[in-house]
């Protein structure tokens, strides 16, 4: 039996005549029973009141069989921003308040003998509206997700290009990056990319899921075959890279250096991308690996920033200590400590001491094969720069 058949025409007319009073009572109920409503701004309260009034009007139309229990009609009275202002749980409380107002007045609204049928109609309407509200929020979440994904892609592109201006900062703030500091960029192979017919959002979603578990803000995107993640609030970059490693495909995962904020993110991004390109040049590289540990490989691959950094950290630093510079060059060309000592005409313990001082000055241990290789490349670059007829261009 239809709702028209359950509730008499007399009762439906009485409900319609009382529509204005019911709408006012619903608004008063919101003010009296829900603290969250009182905390809203004036504009937001007016939106909610419109929804409550539209709910009463839609119930009357539904009861008369003129219209379905249409959440688009009910929630269409307010702008779509309402779903950002109040939660689904609060919206259901709103719907319950509207229903309760009608339910409490059933005795005065219904013709004698109609009260049970009217209560059943109210219950059915509340169920339909509750399901409809859930659908409204699901659709809003889907639309927000699509919009956020576009914003995220724009921000990632700007970071990678080094073009983080005020408009990009504003877009990042919309993604929750207003005051985020201590930023690191991770670059690795994407498990899913558009190039192979997959959905890149799957890879990005995994990054976001991991970030929520770790309690860290993140912006992520897939660029070709690479997955890029910009992580904020980082204290230990290597540990953070390990925590996100399962989000990336097999292969190299490189983290850039720690930078202050998103505006400096291009420095970390440049290093991470250059490191990802050059990583195969170090057979014994760890996983994940720091871009700063790949300076030699990056320099060989053509990264000018790595070349300049190496010369500054090694060549220029050792020029202030001529005996250490001479020891470094000699040791790198010698088969061992004794050979270095003979070449320099010093005691082997003097060589050991100087190697320790070299490590203190430049941060590289010449007894470690890869670090010795890095220093060799740095000194080679420095020698080329010393010759005015040569150029790194």
Which of the four pLDDT bands, split at 50, 70 and 90, describes residue 392? very low
Q: In angstroms, how far is CA 327 from the centroid of its own chain? A: 48
**What was the pLDDT predicted at 210?**
93
Highest mean pLDDT among 60-74, 101-115, 177-191: 177-191
**What was the pLDDT predicted at 337?**
92
**Chain mean pLDDT for the chain:** 82
Which of the four pLDDT bands, split at 50, 70 and 90, describes residue 4? very low
Q: How far apart are CA 162 and CA 165, in angstroms?
A: 9
**What was the pLDDT predicted at 95?**
72
Helix, strand, coil percent content, the chain, rounded in steps of 5: 70, 5, 25
Q: How far apart are CA 163 and CA 385, in angstroms?
A: 30
Residue 362 belongs to what H/E stretch? helix 348-362
Beta bridge partners of 219: 230
**What was the pLDDT predicted at 343?**
93
Q: Of 217 and 176, which is predicted with more confidence?
A: 217
* Average pLDDT of span 112-123: 80
**What was the pLDDT predicted at 153?**
77
Both tokens assigned to 392: 């790194």
**What was the pLDDT predicted at 5?**
45
What Cα–Cα distance (Å) separates residue 238 from each residue in 79, 187, 243, 303?
45, 13, 9, 22
**What was the pLDDT predicted at 23?**
80
pLDDT of 174 over the 90 cut: no
What Cα–Cα distance (Å) separates residue 198 from each residue in 107, 187, 352?
60, 19, 55
* Average pLDDT of span 24-48: 80
Q: How far apart are CA 272 and CA 295, in angstroms?
A: 11
**Whether the Cβ atoms of residue 141 and residue 66 lie closer than 8 Å to each other:** no
Return the residue matching tokens 């790194």.
392
Highest mean pLDDT among 25-29, 152-156, 244-248: 244-248
Q: Of 186 and 65, which is predicted with more confidence?
A: 186
pLDDT in tens, 183-195: 999 999 998 765 5
Residue 255 belongs to what H/E stretch? strand 253-255
**What was the pLDDT predicted at 376?**
96
Length of the chain: 393
pLDDT in tens, 268-315: 999 999 999 999 999 999 999 999 999 999 999 999 999 999 999 999
Highest mean pLDDT among 76-85, 88-97, 130-139, 186-195: 186-195
Looking only at the bridges linking them, the beta strands covering 289-290 and 253-255 are: parallel
* Conformation bin of residue 65: beta by default, left when phi > 0, alpha when psi is -120 to 50: left
Q: What is the CATH number that goes with domain 304-386?
A: 1.10.10.2840
pLDDT of 104 over the 60 cut: yes
Q: How far apart are CA 114 and CA 7, in angstroms?
A: 6
pLDDT of 102 over the 60 cut: yes
DSSP-assigned letters across all residues of 187-253:
EEE-SS-GGGT--HHHHHHHHHHHHHHHT--EEEEEETTEEEEEE-S-S-HHHHHHHHGGGSPSS-E
Local structure of 160: helix, strand or coil: helix
Burial (0-12, 13-18, 19+ Cβ within 10 Å), 45: middle
* Average pLDDT of span 134-160: 66
Q: Of 59 and 204, which is predicted with more confidence?
A: 204
**What was the pLDDT predicted at 2?**
42
**What was the pLDDT predicted at 341?**
94
| CA angle, 381 then 254 then 377, to 5° | 15
pLDDT of 132 over the 70 cut: no
**What was the pLDDT predicted at 69?**
56
127 Cβ contact list (under 8 Å, min separation 6) = none
Beta bridge partners of 289: 254
**What was the pLDDT predicted at 289?**
97
Q: Of 176 and 338, which is predicted with more confidence?
A: 338
Highest mean pLDDT among 52-56, 66-70, 86-90, 298-302: 298-302
**What was the pLDDT predicted at 318?**
94
Question: What's the Rg (C-alpha) of the chain?
Answer: 34
Chosen CATH of 180-292 out of 1.10.8.60, 3.30.70.2730, 3.40.50.300, 1.10.10.60 = 3.30.70.2730
**What was the pLDDT predicted at 313?**
94
Domain chopping of the chain, boundaries: 3-142, 180-292, 304-386
* Average pLDDT of span 151-156: 79
**Whether the Cβ atoms of residue 73 and residue 133 lie closer than 8 Å to each other:** no
pLDDT in tens, 357-390: 999 999 999 999 999 999 999 999 998 887 655 5
**Whether the Cβ atoms of residue 216 and residue 231 lie closer than 8 Å to each other:** yes
Is the preceding omega at residue 355 within 30 degrees of 0, hence cis? Answer: no
For residue 150, the 8-state DSSP code is: H
**Whether the Cβ atoms of residue 181 and residue 261 lie closer than 8 Å to each other:** yes
Closest CA to 26 of 3, 60, 2: 60
Residue 61 main-chain phi, psi, to 5 deg: -65, -40
Closest CA to 263 of 174, 173, 150: 173
In this prediction the pTM is 0.62
Same fold, 180-292 and 304-386: no
**What was the pLDDT predicted at 344?**
92
pLDDT of 48 over the 90 cut: no
**What was the pLDDT predicted at 3?**
46
Would you tell me how many other CB atoms lie within 10 Å of the CB of residue 46? 13
Half-sphere exposure of 13 (CA within 13 A, CB side): 4
* Average pLDDT of span 74-101: 65
């Amino acid at each position: 039996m239809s709702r028209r058949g359950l509730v008499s025409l007399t009762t439906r007319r009485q409900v319609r005549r009382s529509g204005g009073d019911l709408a006012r009572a619903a608004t008063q109920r919101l003010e009296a029973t829900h603290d969250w409503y009182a905390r809203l701004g004036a504009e937001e309260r007016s939106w909610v009141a419109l929804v409550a009034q539209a709910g009463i009007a839609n119930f009357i139309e539904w009861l008369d069989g003129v219209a379905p229990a249409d959440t688009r009609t009910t929630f269409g009275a307010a702008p779509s921003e309402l779903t950002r202002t109040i939660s689904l749980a609060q919206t259901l409380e709103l719907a319950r308040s509207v229903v309760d107002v009608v339910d409490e007045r059933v005795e005065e609204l219904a013709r004698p003998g109609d009260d049970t049928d009217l209560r059943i109609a109210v219950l059915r309407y509340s169920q339909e509206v509750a399901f409809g509200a859930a659908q409204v929020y699901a659709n809003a979440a889907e639309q927000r997700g699509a919009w956020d994904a576009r914003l995220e892609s724009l921000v990632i592109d700007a970071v990678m290009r080094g073009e983080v201006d005020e408009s990009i900062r504003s877009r990042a703030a919309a993604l929750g990056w207003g005051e985020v500091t201590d930023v690191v960029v991770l670059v690795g192979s994407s498990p899913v990319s558009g190039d192979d017919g997959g959905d890149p959002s799957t890879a990005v979603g995994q990054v976001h899921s991991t970030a929520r578990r770790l309690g860290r803000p993140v912006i992520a995107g897939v660029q070709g075959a690479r997955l890029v993640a910009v992580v904020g609030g980082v204290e230990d970059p290597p540990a953070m890279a390990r925590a996100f490693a399962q989000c990336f495909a097999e292969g190299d995962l490189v983290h850039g250096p720690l930078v202050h904020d998103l505006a400096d993110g291009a420095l970390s991004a440049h290093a991470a991308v250059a490191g990802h390109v050059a990583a195969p040049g170090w057979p014994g590289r760890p996983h994940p690996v720091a871009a700063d540990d790949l300076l030699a490989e990056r320099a060989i691959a053509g990264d000018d920033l790595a070349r300049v950094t190496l010369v500054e950290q090694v060549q220029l630093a050792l020029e202030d200590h001529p005996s250490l510079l001479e020891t470094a060059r000699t040791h790198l060309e010698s088969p061992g400590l004794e050979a270095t000592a003979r070449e320099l005409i010093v005691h082997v313990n003097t060589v050991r001491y100087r190697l320790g001082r070299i490590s203190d000055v430049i941060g590289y241990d010449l007894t470690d094969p890869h670090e010795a290789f890095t220093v060799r490349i740095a000194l080679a670059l420095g020698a080329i720069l010393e010759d005015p007829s040569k150029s790194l261009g």
